[in-house]
Amino acid sequence: MHRRSFIKLIGIILSIFNIKVFGYSKNNNEKILFNHGVASGDPTSNKIILWTKLSKASNKPINVSWQVSDKKDFLNIINSGSVKSYSYNDFSVKVDAKIPKKYCGNEIYYRFFVNDIFSIIGTTKTLPISDPSKFNIAICSCSNYPAGFFNAYKEIANDNNIDLVLHLGDYLYEYDKDGYASEDSKKLNRVVDPPHEIVTLDDYRKRHALYKTDKDLQLLHSSKAMVAVWDDHEFTNNSWKYGAENHSYDEGLFSNRKANAVKAYYEWMPIRETQKKLKIWRKFEIGSLFQLFMLDTRSIYRDEQLNLDNYYNNNKFEVSKFKNHLLKKRDLVGKEQFKWLDENINNKFKWSIIGQQVLVSPTVLPEIFLKIDKTKLPEYLHKYLNIAGMNIPYNTDSWDGYPNERNNLYKILAKSQSNVVLTGDTHNSWISNLYNIHNEFIGVEIATPSISSPNTVDMFGSITKDIDKDFIKHNKHLKWTNGSNKGYVKLSITSDNIEVKFLYVSTVKSKEYNVIDDNKFIVRHKQPI
C-alpha cells in the first residue's frame, strides 16, 4: 500500500469510528483538546449553528477549521471554513454554517480541527422546506447534574427517529455542592464545579463546562440539533428582570450576575446570536406543517412574582387581597414580545407550537395536601400547602401569577389553526386543554418531566399517585399528570394529529435503567383532548 493511500485510509477509519483525536498545534506547540464535544442548533432550511470548545493552556487566539459533509467519511465536503477562537469567548467556537438546499432535511456530518487535531464528528439536520409526512421532536427540561444521571438524554440521542430536540430551560442549576438535590452527589460522583453557588462569569463558565463533560449530554449534542431557551436556573432560582429569589445583596448587583449568565450561555450553547442578547425569542418553520415559536417568559420583561407570604395576616391567608393583586397589570412576556408573536403567527400552518418555560393552564392545589403532616416537610412548603382546597393559584411563578398576560397570549393564539403549548419547569408531566375567559378552546398544553431534577415522588413518596388523581379531580382542564417519573416527551407531528409519548427512565440514580413507554396520547387538529 502506498503511503498516501495508507494515510487516506487512516483518516476514513478515524471518521467512521468517531475517534477523539488530540495533540499539539503546529503553530505554537500548544496542546489542544476538544474535551466538551460538539453541538449543533437553531437549524433553518439552509443554515445551522455548529459549536465546539477548545481546551488549551495559553490565552493566545487560534484558528479553528470546520467541515460539513453529507458522508461520514468526509470524502464529499459540502461546506468548510475557518474561524478564530479567542479567550474573551472562553475559546468557544460557533459557526453559522450555510448548507446547500439539496441537503435540507437530510442527515449531515460536521467536525472541527486545529491542524491535525480533530474533534469528534457530529451528526445533525437542517429543516425540510416541503411538508414532511411526519416530523418528530423530543422535548426536555430541568437537568440537575448532582440529582442523578442524564439517562433520558442518552435515550433521546439513541432514537434515530427524532428530528429535533427542544430544551425548554434549566439546562443547568446554579446551586453550591450542598444545595438543591445534592444528597446523592458524592455517591454518584456528581459533585458540582465550582463547589460554591455560581455568580461570576468564571463560575458560570465552569458550571457549563462541567455539564458538557457528561457523556450522555455530549452524545445528545453530537447526534441531534437542539433549539434551546433559558429558564431561571441558567441565572438563579425564580429570577425576573431585576432580581431573583435566590439572589442576595452580598452577591453583588443582580444586573452583573445576569450579564455573566447570559454571556456564558451564548458561549456554551449552540444558539444563534443577535445584537440584543436578552431577546432570545425566535421562530422556526417546517414547510406548512407547523411553525415553532420559542418564547422568553423569564428574563427580559418579567415583573417580580407575587410572594404568598405577603398575604398572610395572623396566619390567615387574605384571598381577596391576593386576587386583587393578581389582576393588576404585570408583565411576563411583555408588549414587544407579544407584538412579535402577533405579527408572526400565521394560520397557513396546520399547527402552531409554542415552546416556553412555565405552566400556562390554571392550576390549584387539591385538598389532599391538607391531610399531609407538614411537620415532616420543609418550612418553605407550608405557605403553599395552607392554601390547598381554596381554589386559588399557588404557583405565582407560572402564568397563574400573570393572568392578564395569559389572556393576551390566548387572544394571539386564537388566530392560529391549532395550537400546542410546550412547557418545562415543573419537573412533572402534565396535559391540559386551554380555554380562554369565554370558554373557547385555544389549544393543548404539554408539560415535560425533568431529566433528573426531583419531582413530586421525591418529596411525597408513596402518596404521589393519589396526589396526581386529586390534581385531576380539582383542575377541570387537566386531563392527566404524572409526578412519579423522569424523562422526556416525544411529539410525532402529522397534518391530522400529534402523537404525544411520555418516555420515562426507571431511575436516575444508576446507569442501569429500564425505559417506561406506556403513556401515549393523541392531539387531534383543532380538538381538545
pLDDT tens digit sequence for 205-234:
999 999 999 999 999 999 999 999 999 999
DSSP code at position 167 = E
Separation CA 218–CA 290 (nearest Å): 29
Are the C-beta atoms of residues 81 and 95 closer than 8 Å to each other? yes
Burial bucket for residue 487 (CB in 10 Å: 0-12, 13-18, 19+): buried
Per-residue confidence band for 3, with pLDDT thresholds at 50, 70 and 90: very low
For residues 51 and 92, the answer to whether their CB atoms sit within 8 Å is yes
Cα 462-466-467 angle, rounded to 5 deg:
95
Of 493, 478, 491, 484, the closest CA to residue 516 belongs to 484
Q: How far apart are CA 443 and CA 406, in angstroms?
A: 13
Distance CA 363, CA 371 (A): 19
Q: Is residue 182 pLDDT above 50, yes or no?
A: yes
CA dihedral 510, 515, 520, 526 (to 10 degrees): 60
Beta-sheet strands, E only, within 158-242: 164-167, 225-228, 239-240
Average pLDDT, the chain: 94
- Environment class of 102 (CB within 10 Å of its CB; exposed 0-12, middle 13-18, buried 19+): exposed
CA distance 101 to 105: 9
Q: Measuring CA to CA, which residue among 367, 363, 361 is closest to residue 386?
A: 367
300: CB partners within 8 A, 6+ apart: 241, 278, 279, 280, 334, 337
| pLDDT of 437 higher than 70 | yes
Residues β-bridged to residue 488: 503
Average pLDDT rounded to a whole number, residues 471-486: 97
pTM of the model: 0.94
Residue 25 has pLDDT above 70, yes or no: no
What is the spatial distance between Cα 507 and Cα 163, in angstroms, rounded to a whole number?
Answer: 26
pLDDT confidence bin for 382, thresholds 50/70/90: confident
Round to whole Å and give the CA distance between 79 and 66: 8
Write down the pLDDT at residue 58.
94
pLDDT of residue 15: 42
Say which DSSP state 349 is in: S
Count of CB atoms situated within 10 Å of the CB of 4: 8
All cell numbers assigned to 20: 477523539
Amino acid at 311: Y
Rounded to the nearest 10 degrees, the angle between the axes of helix 215-223 and helix 151-158 is 30
Amino acid at 36: H
What domains sit in the chain, N to C, each tagged with a CATH number?
Answer: 3-125 (2.60.40.380), 135-524 (3.60.21.70)
Of the pLDDT bands very low, low, confident and very high (cuts 50, 70, 90), residue 26 is: low
Angle at 44 between CA 85 and CA 126, to 5 degrees: 85
> DSSP labels for 271-307?
----SSTT---EEEEETTTEEEEE--SSSSSPPPPPP
- DSSP SS3 for 43: coil
* Tens digit of each residue's pLDDT (9 = 90 or more) over 119-169: 999 999 999 999 999 999 999 999 999 999 999 999 999 999 999 999 999
Where are the alpha helices (H) located in 415-462, listed in sequence order?
456-460
- What pLDDT, in 10s, does the model give residues 86-118? 999 999 999 999 999 999 999 999 999 999 999
Strands (DSSP E) along 99-256, which ranges?
Answer: 107-114, 117-118, 122-125, 135-140, 164-167, 225-228, 239-240, 243-244
